[in-house]
Amino acid sequence: DIVMSQSPDSLAVSLGERATINCKSSQSVFFSSNNKNNLAWYQQKPGQPPKLLIYWASTREFGVPDRFSGSGSGTDFTLTISSLQAEDVAVYYCQQYYTTPFTFGPGTKVDIK
Amino acid sequence: EVQLLESGGNLVQPGGSLRLSCAVSGFSFSTYAMGWVRQAPGKGLEWVATINYRGDSTYYADSVKGRFTISRDNSENTLYLQMNSLRADDTAVYYCAKDSGSSGYDPGDYWGQGTLVTVSS
């Protein structure tokens, strides 16, 4: 199984400042046949289901604000919130969909400082 | 508007069975893979199972393999999860999710609100 890890476990950022979350997979999730990384990022607010933010590691889902961006390749990935807003308080999860089981990272909780 | 509505969650005794349903609308159900993801109270997300668009390929987490069965009825726009031999560690909110593609190897782009399954005596 591919094990997903995330760092930090939690972070507190001032409004308008940058938040950076890291995700690491135990093996590469790069799919050479389509030249893409099978890595997604989700946002989950309290009492709500997850919401897809980013797929193929760096493609923003329709309607997601452009302050959210994803980067990385192979085994190391990053989700960046360029200017944190109050509505961004949530837990963020990465997930690999390269191979079953489609494992999630443990999550990173983002709060306002 | 895409909608996914789970039902069937309940309190069940260890060793018991339960069938979850997910009724969908707002998209061409038979075109997309579908899946179930669960979240134990206060914990993270755990992928449970996925089924491709035709229903002829299914994938399971090791923790549920042999006990849970995912299926779909494309004529009724409904996804199912039959859960047998339930254990206390199956207690969770179960989310139904629409895949963004048809094969099952895609992220979930729409999610239901979830249904709570509690396994306890």
Pair A6, A78: CB distance under 8 Å = no
A96 to chain B, any CB pair closer than 8 A? The answer is: no
Nearest to A95 among B60, B107, B112 (CB): B107
- Structural Rg of chain A based on CA atoms: 13
A41 touches B at CB < 8 Å:
no
Is there a contact between A39 and A95 (Cβ–Cβ < 8 Å)?
yes
Beta bridge partners of A51: A43
The radius of gyration of chain B's CA atoms, rounded to the nearest angstrom, is 13
Q: Determine contact: A30 vs chain B, CB below 8 A.
A: no
Subunit contact B95:A61, Cβ cutoff 8 A: no
Report the residue from A44, A52, A105 with minimal CB separation from B108. A52
CA B66, distance to chain mean position in Å, is 15
Size of interface A-B (CB pairs under 8 A): 56
What local confidence, expressed as pLDDT, does residue B110 receive? 98
Q: What b/e readout covers A32-62, taking b as 16+ CB neighbours within 10 angstroms?
A: eeeebbbbbbbbbeeeebbbbbbbbbbebbe
CA-wise closest residue to A4 among A79, A71, A70, A95: A95
Distance CA A6, CA A39 (A): 13
Among B45, B109, B114, the residue with its CB nearest the CB of A52 is B109
Predicted local confidence at residue A34, as pLDDT: 87
Mean pLDDT of each 10-residue bin along chain A, 113 residues long: 97 98 98 94 97 98 97 98 98 97 98 97
> Cα angle vertex A107, ends B14, A61, to 5°?
110
pLDDT tens digits, one per residue of B35-72: 999 999 999 999 999 999 999 999 999 999 999 999 99
From B114, B24, B113, select the one nearest B77 (Cα to Cα). Answer: B24
Sign (positive or negative) of CA dihedral A35, A103, B62, B116: negative
Q: Hey, is A87 helix, strand or coil?
A: helix
Beta-bridge partners for A25: A4
**Structural element, H or E, at residue B116:** strand B115-119
DSSP single-letter state for residue A104: B
Write out pLDDT tens, residues B90-115. Answer: 999 999 999 999 998 999 999 999 99
pLDDT above 90 for B25: yes
A77 interfaces chain B, CB cutoff of 8 Å = no
Per the CB < 8 Å rule, is A101 touching B47?
yes
